[in-house]
Structure 1
Amino acid sequence: MELTLIESSLLGALIFCFLIQLYFSLFVHLKLALVKIEPIAESGRKPLSVIICARNEAENLRQYLPVVLEQNYPDFEVVVVNDRSWDGTRDLLEEFSKQHKRLKVVTIAEGEKFIAGKKFAVTMGIKAAAHEWLVFTDADCVPASPNWLLGMQQPADEKTEILLGYSPYLKRKGILNALIRFETFFTAVNYLAFAIKGMPYMGVGRNMAYKKSLFFKNKGFAAHMHVPSGDDDLFVNAHATKRNTEICFHKDAHVWTEPNTSFRAYLRQKKRHFGAGKLYKGKHKFILSLQIIFQFLFYAFFAALMFFKPAMYIALGVLGLSIIIRCFIYPRLLKRLNYGKLSIWFPLLDVLLFIFLVFNAIVSIFVKKVTWK
């Protein structure tokens, strides 16, 4: 079968994109599928502080805060920062304070002298924390088990300053929920696998931990206080290294989170994350850009080759091989990360996620203003 110069060039480009895709699948993500999951410690080593920032989260706090307060850990406190709420959060926290000695409430009142935004709330919570090891989660989150803090406690190696956890979204009805869970899965696979590879670049504030001294040594969020998001991923991106960072994704240490229920709310959330990503270190932006660009080019070259009948069969073979390899790796990871039921929908969700990421990137160029709540 003879190919024209155009067909040969397109096929060569398609295969090159496939090889780049193969690198991330086999030499980065597969590491997470094969790494041994360490058992959770049976006892707590040192006291710790859990920090939760809440803005109009009365209903979520009522439902989920007791699960945090009743963790199977010998010495811990829970610091809840009430950030200018008006939905009854203050009264609820006062009620909980009478029942739980572990609970410490920090209230931020409405007023011009206060800096709006989650980073200020997080900073106030850290200042109020009594212990060196800080574990972070959100008001709409619930630990997967009573042993969550045993998994997220200070690792035995004192050189570890950052611990990256995992936070899947709860299952709800509809394709949007499936897309949200699948996108969260791929984000987690990426940051956890790169951390294993020795290049940690982000974490999620719904389930992560670090030392209080690390926060103040690096002047907290001063470098990016002007950015609405990034209290979690930008901090990790700036200060996580191969030597000071570990991960924990034992199933008992997962933290489940309430997902967005509207496409608009989800899109607004992703805009915030996209804006923070622009401030990542250069090498991290380069690697992450490679992933999305070459995935886009892979599909673009494949689509172009469908107009050339002799070459289209080779292109279909490359696509088929790509799907087979990815179906060998990612369904295994889906089960490992508590999303096993999405495995049968993997090929469809893979394409839908790619389309959404491209759409979100385009929209984010034109929409600048984002807020926390």
Structure 2
Amino acid sequence: MSLDRASVRLLVAVCAVTLLCTIGMAMPYPILAPIFVDGPIDDFTHFAGMPPEWLLGVALAANPAGILLGSLVLGPLSDRLGRRRVLVTTLAVGALTNLLTAGALESRLYVLFVIARFATGLTEGNIAVARALLADHHGEATRVKAFAWLNAFQYGGWLLGPLFGGFLLRWGDAVPFALAAVAMLGCIGLVWVGVPGGQAPATATTAESKGAMAGSTLAPLIHDAALRRLFLLQMAYMCGVTALYDYAPLWCVTEAGFTSTGIAWITAVQCAAMLVGTWLAGRLPALDHPLRTTALAALATAAGLALLVVAPATPGLALIAALGLPLAVYNAFMPAWVSSRFAHHGQGRVMGLLTTIFCFANVAVALAGGVLSLWTVRGVMALGALCAGCAAWALWHWARREATQGKLAAAAATA
């Protein structure tokens, strides 16, 4: 993929935004499970006399709940106002809310912490804007590779975030979030230099397309049956993924006796597997439809989660790490296909929809898992396996139907 200087600056800015936002989302995972499950009994870990497992679920749900609301509007907003303006604003506000998070941890104020995580999530919906920028500047031939680059930095965020959270915890719970605020301020400069500003994206230049892109990311679901199908199957798969993301740290604590440092290392190995999967995604043999590849990746995810229901500690830890491979393959192919199949809705909107679905799933699994983990964290993995398996089945049948329709259309055109 050959890039000119402007494209390189754009790619650097987009990947930096993605990296920092993902670090912000990932940092709490190795911190919160040990704090709530093994931490001291105080007003933070036992707020209002509630079980720490339930408080952990609410804390985990707060950030994706904010991303959910942010992604509903930030993608479409960037279609109309321009990508750079939205990115700079959200990064500045995100720096402030990370400082608020640090203050809440330092003061041991649970409610303020949840509010601050929610507010930070509102700004982190800008990942949809970053994806839309790549979709704006790459055609179908290079889109998978472009998204693979973006995903590599996103996985780097999932690697660095837990490492920062796990290893900086010794200097205080608030330190990682304070450093995230500083990094976001620095990222504003990269966006200002690398992202073109002042104009709306090319996909929103006509009155017709502007009207089509008005409203939130959910508006097209009313009239587009295919988009509704995408929403349901992507929601099912993401419930499986977030069962792993949200509760693998708790699995490490309860089933393997890990501390935050151990969780950070397992997460780092998993993210390394994601980087390998990203490299493989651009080299996989072509199938008759991209959804077949995503279906196979979803099936592999479901199988890994099912094994976590029964696996002993050491094999289970290896499974958690290895699941990074199918996650990366899925995340390279699905956004590229969606950006081509549903481009008429606006790239900011359709990329925002993917982020919205992830957040819906994250909130649902965080809350459901908070209840299931009162019994056993393995129950959360069983729920995730069921959801990912259903998604794999639906994706395979959708791919077969679209491939058949494509062959019929090609035959009719040559008749």
Indicate the structure whose relative CO is greater, using CA pairs within 8 Å and at least 6 residues apart: 2
TM-score, normalised with respect to structure 2: 0.26
Q: Name the structure with the higher strand share.
A: 1
